[in-house]
Amino acid sequence: MIYPILLYKKEKNKLRKRSKYIYNKPNLIELINNMYDTMYYYNGIGLSAPQIGLNIRLFIIGLNKLKMIFINPKIIKYSEKKIINKEGCLSIPNLYVPIIRNKIIYVKYYNSFWEKKKIKLKNLLSVVFQHEYDHLKGKLILDYINYK
């Protein structure tokens, strides 16, 4: 199933909300499958739950053949090294913003089986993670534009 993606123009308030932790370990498999269908349909490489109107701390990444699901994720350590990329967002079409991020991050999260995981992410994976993680805080690529 393909969900409609919330657009900043129309759904600013929902996209600006801080997402909530997921408790009681619900089965999220169907939701996650639908999120993947949606992300691939719109040619994204990441999609967060708030972008489909769910105010919960969950996002997915799909880079090449790699699929990663992050439930209640938390960044526990950042590298000093930075990386810069032009980022787009499915909720803000046609805007690309150069954003400086940490090149390497260490994160903990639950996977779709509710197993506790810890992982090191680098380069584009780290960038996409930080982009989606921002969504859970209601932060968007717009916030990185330097207004003069």
Residues forming the site for Zn ion (CB under 5 A): 89
- The dihedral over CA atoms of 138, 40, 73, 5, expressed in degrees to the nearest 10, equals 20
Q: Which C-beta is closer to Zn ion: that of 11 or that of 29?
A: 11
Q: How far is the CB of 72 from Zn ion (least distance, A)?
A: 19
Q: What are phi and psi of 133, to 5 degrees?
A: -60, -40
Locus of tokens 């380069």? 123
Q: Catalytic: 115? A: no
Active-site choice (11, 30, 115, 132): 132
Q: Which C-beta is closer to Zn ion: that of 72 or that of 91?
A: 91
Nearest to 100 by CA among 130, 122, 135: 130
Q: How far is the CB of 131 from Zn ion (least distance, A)?
A: 6
Q: How far is the CB of 27 from Zn ion (least distance, A)?
A: 26
